[in-house]
């Protein structure tokens, strides 16, 4: 499975294509993401273990949502069952990814507390007030700690970004999946920079109207992950089978219409020829050999290359010829 390097502008294209995928079923996407948020909030109320457990199983939820994206691409609707479908397949590798991510977070937090010292730890965890003389030292420690968190969290996030998709779609082992995910993000670092900056701007805009914009932004983040996976690992854009089938159906209808039109034209031509011949026959006049009146050829009685207006005149003309021949 090759890791492709894409253009920088693809970082923006992932969001646009993700938005297009969201528009395919906006209400269903909002319902699925709202349910996931409710689960996260409910587990947050569980002391200590709640957040840890949710971090462990988050890759399972993400894998299920990605399977929903794939089903949508194949013309199937996304449903609430997609949120839990990965629990039924093979959740162990996905939970392993969640465990590695959780251990990484714990180590980062521990390192931050170690560097920040007891004063910053007491201020952050217990809300302890700091004297003005100590405030500058604490602020300096917080700045250093923030830089450390940012520096270490980005590689951890890069390793976790595509790993659930590689596990669920390609059956890649968790460690290998995280390695490939990290190098895929590293190889496409510039597109991801544009992607990240755009998401930050959209997040700020989404928070302005009482956070209502997050209702749309959160599903777009999920769909853009699937789009970026297809772009980097499969080198394929979104392809909707239902759209293609509609186009094929439309082409078929056009072809049928053209064939029907051609058939009707052929029929009309075939029907026109006898009519024209009939009109031609009707317009051609012949002269009766007995009374010399002109009559339409199709109404005349033909006998030995002669025409008659009636059977009576034909018989009379034949009698006269016979009598002449006898003489």
Task: Tell me the pLDDT tens digit for each residue of 119-178.
Answer: 666 666 656 666 666 666 667 777 777 788 888 899 999 999 999 999 999 999 999 999
d(CA 177, CA 94): 10
pLDDT in tens, 195-221: 999 999 999 999 987 888 999 999 999
Whose structure tokens read 């030292």? 137
pLDDT band at 47 (very low <50, low <70, confident <90, very high): confident
What's 4's DSSP letter? P
Reduced to 3 states, what is the DSSP secondary structure of residue 239? Answer: coil
pLDDT at position 280 is: 44
User: Would you state the structure tokens that stand for residue 208, as one six-digit string?
Assistant: 């302005």
Structure tokens at 221: 């983040």
Residues whose CB is less than 8 angstroms from the CB of residue 314 and which lie 6 or more positions away in sequence, other chains included:
290, 301, 303, 308
Residue 204 is predicted with a pLDDT of: 94
- Enter the tokens of residue 237: 């854009």
Residue 58: other Cβ atoms inside 10 A: 20
Give pLDDT tens digits for 49-86: 888 999 999 999 999 999 999 999 988 999 999 999 99
Q: What is Dmax (Cα atoms) for the chain?
A: 158
Unique residue bearing structure tokens 């980097």: 232
In angstroms, the Cα distances linking 259 to 263, 264, 271 are 6, 8, 18
Q: Supply the DSSP symbol for 230.
A: I
Q: What does the buried/exposed string (b/e) look like for 85-122 if buried means 16 or more CB atoms within 10 Å of the residue's CB?
A: bbeeeebebbbbbbebbbebbeebeeebeeebeebbee
């Amino acid at each position: 499975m090759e890791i492709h390097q894409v253009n920088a502008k693809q970082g923006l294209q992932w969001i646009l294509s993700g938005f297009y995928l969201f528009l395919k079923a906006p209400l269903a996407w909002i319902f699925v993401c709202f349910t996931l948020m409710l689960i996260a909030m409910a587990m947050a109320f569980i002391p200590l273990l709640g957040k840890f457990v949710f971090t462990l199983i988050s890759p399972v939820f993400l894998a299920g949502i990605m399977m929903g994206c794939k089903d949508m691409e194949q013309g199937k609707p996304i449903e609430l069952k997609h949120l839990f479908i990965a629990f039924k397949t093979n959740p162990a590798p996905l939970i392993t990814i969640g465990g590695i991510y959780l251990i990484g977070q714990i180590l980062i937090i521990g390192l931050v507390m170690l560097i920040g010292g007891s004063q910053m730890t007491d201020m952050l965890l217990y809300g302890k007030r700091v004297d003005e003389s100590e405030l500058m030292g604490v602020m300096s420690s917080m700045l250093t700690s923030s830089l450390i968190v940012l520096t270490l969290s980005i590689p951890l996030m890069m390793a976790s970004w595509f790993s659930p998709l590689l596990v669920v779609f390609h059956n890649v082992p968790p460690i290998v999946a995280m390695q490939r995910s990290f190098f895929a993000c590293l190889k496409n670092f510039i597109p991801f920079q544009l992607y990240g900056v755009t998401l930050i701007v959209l997040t700020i805009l989404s928070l302005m109207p009482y956070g209502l914009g997050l209702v749309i932004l959160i599903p777009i983040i999920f769909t853009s992950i699937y789009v970026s996976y297809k772009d980097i690992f499969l080198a394929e854009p979104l392809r909707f089978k239902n759209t293609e089938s509609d186009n094929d159906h439309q082409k078929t209808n056009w072809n049928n219409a053209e064939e029907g039109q051609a058939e009707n034209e052929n029929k009309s031509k075939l029907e026109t020829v006898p009519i024209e011949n009939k009109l031609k026959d009707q317009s051609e006049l012949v002269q009766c050999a007995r009374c010399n009146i002109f009559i339409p050829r199709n109404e005349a009685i033909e006998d030995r290359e002669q025409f008659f207006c009636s059977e009576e005149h034909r018989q009379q003309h034949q009698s006269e010829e016979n009598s002449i021949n006898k003489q």
